[in-house]
Chains A and B, each alone.
Chain A
Amino acid sequence: MIPDTPHIPDTVDVSSASDVLRVQDLVVTYGRHRAVDGVGFRIAPGESYAVVGESGCGKTTLARTVLGLLRPVAGEVALEGVRLDRARGRDLRALRRRVQIVFQNPFAALDPRMTVARLVDEPLRLAQPDLTAAGRAEAVSALLASVGLADRFLGRRPHELSGGQCQRVAIARALAMDPVLLVLDEPTSALDVSVQAQVLNLLADLRQRQGLAYLLISHDLGVVRRLADRIGVMHAGRLVEEGPAQQVLHAPSADYTRALIAAVPGRGRAALVGGAEAGAGAPAPGGGARADRAAGPAPALASASSAATAPASEPSAPSSTGSSQ
């Protein structure tokens, strides 16, 4: 842990101290509207957990609560065993450093007047106030290198960068705080396909190299499949299904999950027309006639048809009902 980790003994929850993030029975409301309604899940160190769902399902509200930007009306958010929802003032600020966020639109997330060097230096001053100017310059270079940007980018401003390069800078800024958890809120949905692939590869690589945990918020199941170990499917403020990524995507147990999977385009016109309106496991046309990944973009969820009938190997109840200590 970083030196200035707050010590607030009464809020330390020993039972889940090994989890990077533990969310339990979380309720967040806007007026009478329960945007997050009894959600619970855990993220282990180095684990990548995806929350998928459509607009208004509460996934962004959930992310903001995990960042300590919104206060829940009920439930718990514990970061490395420390209750974020109870922390105040300096303690809260110190805790927040451990969670960083990468936003959807990198152009909006970066100050247009700052150079890349200053953009990355800014969080570094907070994270390591004792570092000399020379030490910081070295650290800035190292951070940029870790996201695949060479030193020649140091003097550029956001408008001189492509979307993918901006997103790399945003990731470098997040890494500068030495977080244990990175919240990725639709990190590639503003990017072109070819650039998205580069950023997804970078994020997969960073996690392996640095042992970061991810909370990924996305509506794109292809992206989720690529980055997530486990998936929670959110609908109307609740987790309707949770489980290992493979299981949720290939043997979903909730009707809503099946509908989401069936709505992924790219299985051809016959599948689109032939699929049931609810879309529960429409059979892939041509029996998944996909040679290799270069041959088709969003191929045929070949297993989608079997998924509808396959018994879910584990009931995978949402953990909002999970054990409390």
Chain B
Amino acid sequence: MTLLTVEDLTIEFPRPGGRSGGTTRPVRGVTLTVEPGQTLGVVGETGCGKTLTGLAVLGLLPPAARARGSIRLDGRELLGAPPSQLRAVRGAEIAMVFQNPATAFDPVRPLRTQFERVIRRHRGGSREQAGARAAKLLAEVELHDTDRVLGSYPHQLSGGMLQRAMIALALSCEPRLIIADESTSALDVTVAQQVRRLLLRLQHAHGFGVLFVTHNLGEARDLCDRVAVLYAGEVVETGPVEEVFTAPAHPYTKALLAAVPTVDDDGAPLASLPGEVPADVLAVTGCVFANRCPQAEDLCRSTPPAAHTLPGGRSALCHFADPEVAA
């Protein structure tokens, strides 16, 4: 059974005095699935809606946000579920690893207290039992000096150590889904690589599914089974990671991949994407990418595209989804 199903998720914020009925809609009709033990990458640039999508799954949207659609964990509806039910799910069944571990931990309490609270909240038991479990978890994320780490305040540990500890905390209740939002972006390159390796190893051992939110395409390629590429609040392409990266079907995915400078560069100017995301996507009549798309035709400017299903479990939100892929 599919672990997580996000179906036609739309998130709206009131915008006093704004156009389009006074609302913004930063996430529009997003559909995603995460299978048990698999990693789905949600990739895109600033403002594409990837972080909001992750927060919606956790029921952590800002109070002003209105979400509709469906978010199901093992078939159980989470969207609109009462707060008490969500609290039981968060931490126990779905855990989150944030971008910046230095701000995700409470700065005024030693790690031991923070581990004990989470473990006892969801699993009960004595402080001693919780402490023992915390030590075991830290060893699993390769922090072996467990007494020192548990006795430390967040500021006494390095970013890499803290992110490992955050992962250990996320694992403390054996969640079936981990939402990782830019979990290595604040780390140095060599440390980030160690954390990516650690995540893969732990996933192999524990079998949790991951919703991996990132702007880093290389990182998505290393960690994910499938990816969903978001642009201006919509999933524009989805499919198995290698296929999407080697033969992108949507013009935005193509442009994004071509814009990344690589170590093997030949020095030719990078293909940069001209223009910007429309300021008010709700005012756009056709495809929201049409104003930047090199392949846009009249149809694109007049009619919004539907998601085209392509072979190999792929789909693209484009009138002209690459025929080579479709063939």
Q: Which residues of A contact B (CB under 8 A)?
A: 54-55, 162-163, 192-198, 200-201, 204, 219-223, 225-226, 249-250, 259-269, 271-273, 275, 277, 279, 289-291, 293-303
Contact = CB atoms under 8 A, between A and B. Distances in A.
A31 B125 CA distance: 48
B272 A262 contact: no
B1 interface: no
B221 interface: yes
B262 to A, nearest CB: 5
Contact of A295 (B45, B189, B197, B257): B257
Interface centre among A55, A262, A290, A296 (most CB of B within 10 A): A296
A289 B242 CA distance: 11
B218 A298 contact: yes
B265 to A, nearest CB: 5
B190 A279 contact: yes
Given A273-B200, A299-B262, A198 B272 contact: yes
B223 A269 contact: yes
B263 interface: yes
10 contacts: A192-B45, A194-B259, A222-B265, A225-B265, A263-B193, A265-B221, A266-B219, A269-B200, A293-B271, A298-B218
Interface string B256-281: 11111111111111111100100000
A115 to B, nearest CB: 20
Contacts of B242: 268
B264 A301 contact: yes
Given A200-B270, A201-B272, A265 B222 contact: yes
Contact of A272 (B159, B196, B269): B196
B7 to A, nearest CB: 28
B246 interface: yes
A193 B260 contact: yes
Given A193-B217, A290-B264, A294-B254, 4 more contacts: A192-B46, A272-B196, A296-B262, A303-B264
Question: Top 3 closest A-B pairs, CB basis?
Answer: A266-B218, A197-B272, A265-B218
Contacts of B89: none
B38 to A, nearest CB: 12
Contacts of B261: 196-197, 200, 220, 222-223, 225-226
Interface string B45-76: 11000000000000000000000000000000
B272 A269 contact: no
Nearest to B39: A269
Nearest to A196: B259
A225 B261 CA distance: 8
Contact of B260 (A163, A222, A268): A222
Nearest to B273: A194
A294 B271 contact: yes
Contacts of B262: 222, 225, 266, 293, 296-299
B246 A194 contact: no
Nearest to A303: B264
A295 B245 contact: yes
Contacts of B256: 193-194
Contact of A298 (B248, B255, B260, B270): B260
Contacts of A289: 246
Contacts of A222: 260-263, 265
B192 interface: yes
A32 to B, nearest CB: 20
A194 B255 contact: yes
A219 B193 CA distance: 14
Nearest to A295: B246
A184 B218 CA distance: 24
A225 B259 contact: no
Interface in B184-220: 188-194, 196-197, 200, 215-219
A152 to B, nearest CB: 14
A197 B259 contact: yes
